[in-house]
Amino acid sequence: MSSLKPCVDALYEGVDSVAGRIPEMPRSEVLLVRLLMLTAGALLRDFESKLKPHGMNDSDFRTLMMLYCAEDGSATPGELCLLAEQKPTNMTRIANALAKRDFISRSHATHDRRQVLLRITAAGRRFVSKLLPPMFPPLVASFACFSPAERTTFERLLKKLALHIDSVDTDACP
């Protein structure tokens, strides 16, 4: 992972410059969102660099993980679109890519033959079980700057923000 310090420094300089020109700018909130996006982007780039040798990206892997986590290992494409925040066209691409690698299978739901059901295969489960463990040490190292109590607080605060954003009408114009 490349150094984020120059980006963090530039971010603060830029926000302070804008705040000097637009005093009503909510500096703290802008810094928080920009820092979250910068950090998330760096973590995502690092994660995707680990997936790339396996011919996957984040949305492919997230979809596979949702099936891996599902109690019966299955879901409809519509359910996966909602949870993975993907459009139906991209979910079709993802399902095709995962099916081509034999990580998932397609079938029709027994209660409604029109409904397609995606199910993780044994090969998909093996892939996840093999891929994940080597990713854990770098992930833990990324958060080593926090004490266990700080990680718990950080998680709680991020969850609180995520749930609060649902209640805020972000599409409203002033």
Give the CA-trace dihedral at 29, 46, 140, 73, to 10 degrees. 100
The total of other beta-carbon atoms located within 10 Å of residue 81's CB is 19
Over residues 142-148, the mean pLDDT reads: 96
Q: What is the pLDDT of residues 77-89, one digit of tens each?
A: 888 888 878 888 8
Per CATH, the number for 56-157 is 1.10.10.10
pTM for the predicted model, two decimal places:
0.83
Cα 106 to Cα 118: distance, rounded to the nearest angstrom = 5
pLDDT per residue over 51-100, tens digit each? Answer: 999 999 999 999 999 999 999 999 988 888 888 788 888 899 999 999 99
Q: What is the reported pLDDT for 18?
A: 96
Residue 128 has pLDDT above 90, yes or no: yes
* Virtual torsion, Cα 144, 149, 151, 157, nearest 10 deg: -150
